[in-house]
Chains A and B, each alone.
Chain A
């Protein structure tokens, strides 16, 4: 059975901390791995990863895929309260993990 597992399920940090969110997958047909941020209602796109070992960056956020380990990490440096959200990992946009709820305290 295809599955995507995210860890931790929830995380509480203080502003300025660096966090690493994990996503591992077991799927029969991998095309891409995507990260989304869900603050209130609609998830918004962060990254799409298809190649192993190539880091993608956007400001304080970065992500990398490891196809050998069937996993990906999402890093957020110098966290801000506005980073508080649920971060979702999806494989081929078909299977979503349960998400990591990040809470950044001032």
Chain B
């Protein structure tokens, strides 16, 4: 089956620094990638949808200047958490789709971000 690789799996950083998370589709071209946030014992909260070569579409309440998403190629999307604060600590997970929201998703293994 299709594989989505997400790195790093865990990152600890100081408050005020920026953190970049990568999401790669290894064996298929992902026209659409999604970024989620998941708090303990909570479901996945969609943060944004990104299509290759265009600007990401952010969900209501998600600050686009804080969570920078770049989908520069059909196999790579990045999420940069800028000027991270402790409240940004969470589990971030990406997913990828061949053809948008109507197809099954393949998920990365997630990134646990801890901001001190």
Give a binary string over A4-22; 1 marks a CB under 8 Å from any B CB, 0 the rest.
Answer: 0000000000000000000
A-B contact count (CB 8 A): 53
Scan residues 68-85 of chain A and give those whose CB is less than 8 A from a CB of chain B. none
| Chain A residues near B110 (CB-CB < 8 A) | 41-42
User: B101 and A92: CB pair below 8 A?
Assistant: yes
User: A96 and B43: CB pair below 8 A?
Assistant: yes
The contact size tier of chain A is 20 to 34
Scan residues 41-61 of chain B and give those whose CB is less than 8 A from a CB of chain A. 42-46, 49
| Chain B residues near A31 (CB-CB < 8 A) | 101-102
- Secondary structure dominating the interface of B: strand
User: B106 and A45: CB pair below 8 A?
Assistant: yes
| Chain B residues near A50 (CB-CB < 8 A) | 102
Interchain residue pairs with CB less than 8 A apart (22) = A31-B101, A32-B102, A36-B107, A42-B93, A42-B109, A42-B110, A43-B95, A43-B105, A45-B104, A48-B103, A50-B102, A92-B101, A92-B102, A93-B34, A93-B97, A93-B101, A93-B102, A93-B103, A94-B49, A94-B101, A95-B46, A96-B46
Chain B residues close to A by CB (< 8 Å): 4, 34, 36, 42-46, 49, 93, 95, 97, 101-110
